[in-house]
């Protein structure tokens, strides 16, 4: 903690509370010390996908959020990248210009940090810009031939050659992907599912979570069970449209 303490107490049993007191401070240190690389706060400040948090961190996080709102953003813990760039933090001053500052400002804003029930995902700590909508098209492009069932005007125009993991309805521009497979894909890209969902809240994609049979309307898949899916209103990948009408 970078300091010391001195406690005086009276005990009829002459019991030594040193270990108990040290245990409390150790717990706080392991949660909130920026001098310990494995502490909760140190790991949150790294570009990890998710970090399991503890009660010490939760309390400080919520109090920081409260002060951020009360001060209209004057108190903002996410400015550290700017502080370091200017040389006022724990890093040496870097060559800076307006372009560099503008590139860092997109990561600043405590309102961008999301606390979940048992995890924290912080998309302000990413060292790159993520094209969240583009991930949808990339996933479908990777799987449309082998794992996608494609309909046009209620007619099957493409059957999957392998495991069914996606469904495309060209007529209404709706696409469905199995959540389990898509979340695995997101993890490979270093993106958390909650981060992805939050990023698309204000987009035109109209992301929804549902449970349905991806095989509805396909005789060969009549016995497939319902699965949890993401539903998107998203531009149909060009590869699918180019192949439209080629049959199965």
pLDDT for residue 25: 87
Query: Once rounded to an integer, what is the mean pLDDT over residues 194-219?
Result: 86
How sure is the predictor about 228, in pLDDT bands with cuts at 50, 70 and 90?
Answer: very high
Sorted by sequence, the CB contacts under 8 Å of residue 135 that are 6+ apart come out as 185, 186, 189, 191, 196
The packing angle between helices 132-147 and 179-188, to 10°, is 120
pTM above 0.75? no
Q: How many other C-beta atoms can be found within 10 angstroms of the C-beta atom of residue 73?
A: 14
Domains contained in the chain, CATH given: 18-122 (1.10.3980.10), 132-242 (no CATH)
Does residue 211 or residue 7 have the better pLDDT? 211
**What H or E segment, with its residue span, contains residue 173?**
none
């Amino acid at each position: 903690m970078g300091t010391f303490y001195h406690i005086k107490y009276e005990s009829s049993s002459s019991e030594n509370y040193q270990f108990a007191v040290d245990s409390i401070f150790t717990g706080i240190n392991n949660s909130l010390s920026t001098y310990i690389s494995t502490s909760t706060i140190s790991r949150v400040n790294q570009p990890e996908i998710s970090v399991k948090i503890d009660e010490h961190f939760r309390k400080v996080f919520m109090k920081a959020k409260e002060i951020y709102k009360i001060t209209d953003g004057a108190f903002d813990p996410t400015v550290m990248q700017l502080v370091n760039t200017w040389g006022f933090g724990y890093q040496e001053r870097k060559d800076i210009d307006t372009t560099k500052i503008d590139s860092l400002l997109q990561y600043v804003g405590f309102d961008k940090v999301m606390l979940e029930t048992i995890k924290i995902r912080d998309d302000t700590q990413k060292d790159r810009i993520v094209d969240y909508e583009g991930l949808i098209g990339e996933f479908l492009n990777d799987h449309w031939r082998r794992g996608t069932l494609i309909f046009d005007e209620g007619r099957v125009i493409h059957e999957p050659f392998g495991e069914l993991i996606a469904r495309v309805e060209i007529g209404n521009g709706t696409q469905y992907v199995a959540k389990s497979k898509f979340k695995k894909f997101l993890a490979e890209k270093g993106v958390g599912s909650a981060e992805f969902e939050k990023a698309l809240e204000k987009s035109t994609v109209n992301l929804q979570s549902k449970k349905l049979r991806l095989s509805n309307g396909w005789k060969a898949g009549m016995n497939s069970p319902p699965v949890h899916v993401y539903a998107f209103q998203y531009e149909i990948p060009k590869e699918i449209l180019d192949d439209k009408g080629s049959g199965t």
